[in-house]
């Protein structure tokens, strides 16, 4: 497999690889990472100390929380996925992107959508569906821009100079195919005004369609493209070939088939029909297998390179990322069991779970790729390796504080809500008594998030100094032998 | 791994991008179709006997629901009482799918930073909501909710709400033409009742204040279910 990942000389002489688009997406990724995480830290503060809402409509938790989720998923997450795809697809397919115009349209269109989101969400313009809050004109723009990007990738694949499609490409393709399907069907709505619309689905059907979308936004926006990135960049950074080709096939097809079914686990014990809840639970539990297939394939790829994990910050980030992927894809299925969901649903435990995946898996592998790519596409030596290592430790400790704190908060509120005394009455009938128990957890979570944000700021500083530096990047490490 | 070239899928599937795309599309479609399609047939069969029990939102309640959505109330408050002893003790009878039939979009929520609201209708007087939204800690000591004093200063736009009612009727909510023609009158009529309740508590408000619309929506939550239970003698 390693031959497919080999460093190519740079396309053909008349059509060299387009790395200008990669650079643009890297800069956008850094910008939106800082913005999205800053909003996250801010709203974390709002829960610990409500005056941080500032008495201004645009900055209340209810309006900023969707901005935070959209910014980290679609702005930070989306831009790093596209960064990684534009760089690796050209090299894996040994051909320049099909259309420079579409690449550029894709970039500016995506940034325009993000800016539109950052303006409309604080204004309270929302469809209220989680991770699909944006109003219908922006939804239309998302469909057009995403499909334009997908067309460019599809035509690049069609024009490829390598016959076999490397495993990373399969994962990228599943992302390009599934996201438009989810986005279009979940967003079907009748406009009332330019900024407001009502979905064609009602009640529990709307809820089911939303969580079919919502869970698979996790599956196909924050998982499959990132697994594709793992399959390209982990072998590149470690100099080791992918552990098992067969495992990658099995876990790919199992993952894309099983993921779609898991949505109803967001609606356990709700008014959704029981059979649909059960399907959601069963398929979520089955998802452990393909998820761990990916994790093991990633970790075992590092066999023979573990000594370098001790010194190389990029590999440190990758190891922690893949480990968190394994941890959160174990925790998720456990939380999908009805009896566990009965306790965890509606609590901070869910927030902790999401962030172990988002900060741990998505964030850490993104940082690794940024540290690996930036010196290469700008041909500049990384400004400070020790600063990158500091970032790694700040981020790792930050995640651990965040997750453990949210477990504590989730268990506390979940157990207090359900506690009954000997007489069969609620032990804590005043809801606010439970809310106020969470204050120390909220402060600690704020601290964990602040550490993670500080690390990201260090990275932005480090990479900008790298880009503006003068010393060229050392020649690429030896390509692993087939 | 040099023997990979001998595997059938390596030559039959993986070099063929179009086939990979088709197979992937088939793989991702199965689960969604199996789970979602039956929801349409099931809800179509139930609706006839539901129409009488669960009433569509009045124009003022639609305006209130739009405000509820705009402010992201659903981010911190769920509207789904699960069938557990502690939840029925704390909130009231558990939620059923029929109750959501006119909910577009659904507002079940996924977090309870604050308490569930699906049974909040009728739990407090109108004046409580007025004060709670102005200063949450005046009614709920220790609350972490921000104050929403702008709801007391802003007005609802009746033409804007008419557009909402028209769009909702287009997607299937059974508003009569008469109701659509008289959206402002209906809003004024319902808002005036709430204004009177507030006046009784010594609060001056006008029927087109946003807080009045929001209050009408909150007071509506769970009301139809409670009424059904009352006529059935509380039997479930």
Within a 13 Å sphere around the CA of B132, how many CA atoms are in the beta-carbon half?
A: 17
Average pLDDT, rounded, for chain B: 91
Owner of token pair 């303006």: A119
| A285: exposed, middle or buried (Cβ count in 10 Å: 0-12, 13-18, 19+) | middle
The answer to whether position B119 is within a domain reads: yes
ipTM: 0.94
Residues 269-328 of A with CB under 8 A from B: 269-273, 276, 279-280, 283
The answer to whether position B38 is within a domain reads: no
Q: Is the pLDDT of residue B47 over 50?
A: yes
Q: What is the DSSP-derived secondary structure letter of residue B156?
A: -
The pLDDT value recorded for residue A4 is: 41
The pLDDT value recorded for residue A94 is: 96
The pLDDT value recorded for residue B2 is: 43
User: Which candidate from A177, A198, A258 shows the least CB-CB separation from B104?
Assistant: A198
- Residue B120 sits in a domain whose CATH number is 1.10.760.10
The answer to whether position B41 is within a domain reads: no
Residues 171-200 of A with CB under 8 A from B: 173-174, 177-178, 181, 185, 189-193, 196-200
**Pairwise CB contact (< 8 Å): B75 & A192:** no
The pLDDT value recorded for residue A9 is: 45
Asked if A436 reaches chain B (Cβ–Cβ under 8 Å), the answer is yes
- Structure confidence by residue, pLDDT tens digits, A63-111: 999 999 999 999 999 999 999 999 999 999 999 999 999 999 999 999 9
Closest residue of chain B to A436, computed from CA coordinates: B142
Rounded alpha-carbon distances, angstroms, from residue A396 to A2, A310, A318, A445, A448 = 30, 15, 12, 14, 9
**Pairwise CB contact (< 8 Å): A196 & B164:** yes
- Structure confidence by residue, pLDDT tens digits, B68-107: 999 999 999 999 999 999 999 999 999 998 899 999 999 9
> A431: which chain B residues are within 8 Å (Cβ-Cβ)?
90, 114-115, 140
Exposed e or buried b for every residue in A115-149, given b needs 16+ CB within 10 A?
ebbbebbbebbbbbbbbbbbbbebbebbeebbbbb
User: Which candidate from A47, A165, A350 shows the least CB-CB separation from B17?
Assistant: A165
**Pairwise CB contact (< 8 Å): A203 & B101:** yes
Q: What 3-state DSSP class applies to A16?
A: strand
The answer to whether position B32 is within a domain reads: no
What are the structure tokens assigned to A120, written together? Answer: 């409309």
**Pairwise CB contact (< 8 Å): A203 & B30:** no
Counting the structural domains of chain B, the total is 1
Of the candidates B207, B227, B223, B205, the residue with the CA atom closest to the CA atom of residue B59: B207
- Model-level pTM greater than 0.90? yes
The answer to whether position B173 is within a domain reads: yes
The pLDDT value recorded for residue A5 is: 43
Closest residue of chain A to B145, computed from CA coordinates: A50
Task: Map out the domains of chain A with their CATH numbers.
Answer: 5-467 (1.20.210.10)
DSSP string, A387-414: HHHHHHHHHHHHHHHHHHHHHHHHHHHH
**Pairwise CB contact (< 8 Å): B163 & A65:** no
Exposed e or buried b for every residue in A224-261, given b needs 16+ CB within 10 A?
bbbbbbbbbbbbbbbbbbbbbbebbbebbbbbbbbbbb
User: Which candidate from A66, A129, A271 shows the least CB-CB separation from B100?
Assistant: A271
The pLDDT value recorded for residue B15 is: 83
Asked if A31 reaches chain B (Cβ–Cβ under 8 Å), the answer is no
* Structural domain span for residue B151: 50-231
- Structure confidence by residue, pLDDT tens digits, A104-144: 999 999 999 999 999 999 999 999 999 999 999 999 999 99
Owner of token pair 């120390």: A440
The pLDDT value recorded for residue B51 is: 62
The answer to whether position B138 is within a domain reads: yes
Which strand (E) or helix (H) includes residue A191? strand A189-191
Low-confidence ranges of chain A (pLDDT < 50): 1-9, 478-482
Q: State how far residue B157 is from chain A, nearest Cα, in angstroms.
A: 12
Greatest mean pLDDT among B26-40, B44-58, B158-172: B158-172
Q: State how far residue B110 is from chain A, nearest Cα, in angstroms.
A: 5
pLDDT-derived band of residue B225, with 50, 70 and 90 as boundaries? confident
The pLDDT value recorded for residue A1 is: 38
Q: Which residues contact A365 (CB under 8 A, 6 or more apart)?
A: A226, A229, A230, A233, A317, A318, A321, A322
Of the candidates A454, A406, A417, A394, the residue with the CA atom closest to the CA atom of residue A47: A406
The answer to whether position B45 is within a domain reads: no
- Average pLDDT, stretch B120-128? 97
Cβ pairs A/B, distance under 8 A: 259
Angle at A34 between CA A32 and CA A37, to 5 degrees: 100
The answer to whether position B124 is within a domain reads: yes
| CA separation for the pair A228, A168 (Å, rounded) | 4
Q: What is the DSSP-derived secondary structure letter of residue A4?
A: G
């Amino acid at each position: 497999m390693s031959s497919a990942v080999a460093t190519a000389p740079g396309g053909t002489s008349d059509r060299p690889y387009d790395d200008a688009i990669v650079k643009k997406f890297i800069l956008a990724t850094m910008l939106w990472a800082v913005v999205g995480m800053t909003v996250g830290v801010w709203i974390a503060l709002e829960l610990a100390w409500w005056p941080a809402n500032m008495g201004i409509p645009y900055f209340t938790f209810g309006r900023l929380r969707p901005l935070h989720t959209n910014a980290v998923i679609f702005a930070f997450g989306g831009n790093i996925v596209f960064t990684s795809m534009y760089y690796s697809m050209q090299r894996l397919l040994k051909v320049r992107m099909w259309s420079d115009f579409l690449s550029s349209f894709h970039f500016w269109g995506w940034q325009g959508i993000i800016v539109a989101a950052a303006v409309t969400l604080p204004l309270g313009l929302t469809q209220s569906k989680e991770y699909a809050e944006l109003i219908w004109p922006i939804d239309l723009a998302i469909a057009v821009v995403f499909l334009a990007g997908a067309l460019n990738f599809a035509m690049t694949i069609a024009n490829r100079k390598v016959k076999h499609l490397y495993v990373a490409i399969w994962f990228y393709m599943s992302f390009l195919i599934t996201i438009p399907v989810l986005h279009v069907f979940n967003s079907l709505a009748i406009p009332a005004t330019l900024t407001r619309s009502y979905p064609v689905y009602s009640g529990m059907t709307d809820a089911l369609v939303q969580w079919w979308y919502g869970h698979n936004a996790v599956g196909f926006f924050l998982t499959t493209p990132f697994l594709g990135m793992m399959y390209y960049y982990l072998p590149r950074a470690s100099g080791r070939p992918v552990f098992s080709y067969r495992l990658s096939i099995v876990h790919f097809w199992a993952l894309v088939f099983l993921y779609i079914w898991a949505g109803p686990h967001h609606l356990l014990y709700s008014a959704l029909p029981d059979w649909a809840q059960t399907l959601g639970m069963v398929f979520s539990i089955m998802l452990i297998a393909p998820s761990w297939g990916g994790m093991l394939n990633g970790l075992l790829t590092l066999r023979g390179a573990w000594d370098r994990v001790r010194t190389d910050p990029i590999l440190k980030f990758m190891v922690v990322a893949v480990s968190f992927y394994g941890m959160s894809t174990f925790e998720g299925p456990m939380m999908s069991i009805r009896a566990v969901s009965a306790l965890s649903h509606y609590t901070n435990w869910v927030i902790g779970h999401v962030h172990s995946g988002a900060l741990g898996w998505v964030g850490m592998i993104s940082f690794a790729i940024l540290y690996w790519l930036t010196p290469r596409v700008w041909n500049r030596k990384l400004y400070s390796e020790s600063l990158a290592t500091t970032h790694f430790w700040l981020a790792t400790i930050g995640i651990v504080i965040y997750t453990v704190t949210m477990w504590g908060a989730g268990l506390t509120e979940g157990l207090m809500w359900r506690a009954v005394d000997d007489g069969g009455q609620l032990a804590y009938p005043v809801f606010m008594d439970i809310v106020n128990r969470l204050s120390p957890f909220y402060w600690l979570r704020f601290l964990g998030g602040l550490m993670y944000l500080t690390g990201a700021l260090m990275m932005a500083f480090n990479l900008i100094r790298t880009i503006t530096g003068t010393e060229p990047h050392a020649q690429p490490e030896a390509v692993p032998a087939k | 791994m040099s023997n990979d070239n001998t595997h059938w899928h390596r030559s039959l599937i993986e070099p063929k991008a179009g086939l990979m795309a088709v197979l992937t599309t088939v793989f991702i479609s199965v689960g969604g179709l199996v789970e979602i399609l039956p929801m349409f047939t099931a809800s179509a069969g139930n609706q006839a006997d539901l129409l009488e029990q669960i009433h569509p939102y009045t124009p003022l309640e639609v305006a209130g629901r739009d405000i509820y959505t705009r402010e992201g109330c659903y981010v911190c408050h769920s509207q789904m009482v699960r069938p557990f002893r502690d939840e029925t003790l704390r909130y009231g009878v558990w939620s059923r799918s029929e109750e959501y039939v006119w909910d577009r979009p659904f507002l079940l929520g996924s977090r309870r930073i604050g308490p569930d609201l699906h049974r909040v209708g009728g739990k407090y007087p109108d004046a409580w909501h007025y004060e709670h939204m102005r200063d949450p800690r005046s009614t709920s000591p220790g609350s972490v909710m921000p104050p929403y004093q702008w709801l007391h200063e802003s007005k609802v736009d009746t033409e804007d709400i008419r557009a909402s009612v028209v769009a909702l009727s287009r997607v299937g909510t059974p508003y009569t033409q008469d109701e659509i023609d008289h959206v402002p009158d209906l809003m004024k009529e319902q808002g005036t009742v709430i204004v009177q309740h507030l006046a009784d508590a010594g609060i001056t408000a006008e029927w087109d204040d946003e807080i009045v619309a929001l209050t009408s929506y909150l007071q509506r939550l769970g009301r139809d279910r409670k009424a059904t239970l009352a006529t059935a003698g509380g039997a479930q």
